[in-house]
Amino acid sequence: MLHLYYHPRSTFSRRVRVALLEKQIEHEATVVDLATGEHRKPAFLALNPYGRVPVIDDEGFVLYESAATAGDLADQFRNTQDTHMLVIEHSSDKGTAVRGLVSKTRCFLAHCCADT
């Protein structure tokens, strides 16, 4: 099962949460307490050597760059839900697709997740 390590005020964490919620991907979530420095402790640094959130652990496969993680979730779970917000259908250029994903996520966050 996917495990998300995040902080609710992190806009980068929100990008990944949007991907998980849109695709209705079953996952476990752990809030990383940034105020107490949990992200700088050895256990968390073993997941992400940069000490930043979010981190997705998919049974040992760890991703910690939010745009890449959201894109990977969109690709991996492409057929699980009939949603298209996260997938740029007509782009053969991966960079253009990632920029589109980031732009769409920012717009969604600005309207729906500003206070969560």
For residue 116, the model assigns a pLDDT of 47
Amino acid at 103: S
Long-range contacts of 43-49 (CB under 8 A, 24+ apart): 44/5, 47/5, 48/5
Query: What value, to the nearest 5°, has the Cα angle with vertex 67 and ends 61 and 71?
Result: 70
For residue 19, the model assigns a pLDDT of 87
Task: Tell me how far apart the alpha carbons of residues 39 and 2 are, in angstroms, rounded to a whole number.
Answer: 19
Amino acid at 21: L
Location of structure tokens 């993680």: 69
pLDDT in tens, the chain (116 residues): 999 999 999 999 999 998 898 888 999 999 999 999 999 999 999 999 999 999 999 999 999 988 888 888 877 887 655 555 555 555 555 555 566 666 655 555 555 555 54
Q: Helix crossing, 11-22 with 94-112: angle to 10°?
A: 100
Amino acid at 26: E
For residue 17, the model assigns a pLDDT of 92
CATH code, residues 2-112: 3.40.30.10
